Structure 1
Amino acid sequence: HGQTTLMLAVSHGKSEVVKLLLECGANLNMQDEDGSTALMCAAEHGLQEIVNILLACPECDVSIADNDGSTALSIAMEAGHKEIGIALYAKQHILSRENSPFNLSKSKRSRSANTVMPSSNNNINYSHLSLKKSPSLQPKEYATLSSMLKTRIP
């Protein structure tokens, strides 16, 4: 299906190979014949570590849609991968904003104790985040994300 080497490394869960390919300049936003990206593959299969690696790349575009109109966020939600869904939402709607608390703290070269980064190793309560309705979110995604933000993720 026209998959890239990066997509194959992701689909096989090879996080070290993913890191190496990214360091060598692999295009993580490239789409295969179905319109899927490496991020979509990782989101679908619940590969949190690889999702985090991909999201850490500034050029990672979480808004890309496949041929069916699905994004990595909608794919993660359909597959029931809550923490991945929250990380994708945060990248798209919170962490990427110029005036977000995360970016403001970065620009002042200080870290706030309240800055939260999704991690598979922490028990994080996201209930303090406000979820604003976005035109890019479908009502089902909004409802699911709203309920997830009110729960503690193990």
Structure 2
Amino acid sequence: MIKINSHDGPARLGTINNESTPLLLDYKTINKIENIATPYKIQKEIAEENMKKTLQIAKNEKNKEKIGVIQGAQYTDLRVQCAKKLEEYGYTTLMFANTDELQRNPQELLDIVINTRENIKPTTTLYFPFATTQIIPILSYIGIDIFDNSRAIYESKN
């Protein structure tokens, strides 16, 4: 959970486990719950079914310190619903799925991230994996707290 020191709208500076945010983590250290991987562009019924399966896995997970995964494909309402349920189950750090696809669809990215941030607790930490360096400042400004080094490693190998 984040301790917010200051904020400007959804952008915030704070601390998580005595480290300042926005926080950059080594992707190898990420401890997330199991989830049903879902393609980004898929029928809503399938996305909803996979989201419900992911939520059932999250509900049964004993270690709520793990990172909950926000599924829901390209559907903002499903993403918000998933995030709120994960909070209900006790997760305080949530990770967006399909972030590579989200970055290719900037309007959907903004819609999903902003609506998710507006509908969850301010103390819930949001994690956006695989972010390009160019978009990190924008994501921080709209409420993302944690990033990782996976994109840099991927780009250096390709």
TM (normalized to structure 2)?
A: 0.33
If each structure's strand is expressed as a fraction of its own residues, which one has the higher value? 2
* Structure with larger RCO (C-alpha < 8 A, sep 6+): 2
Highest CA radius of gyration, 1 or 2? 1
TM (normalized to structure 1)?
A: 0.33
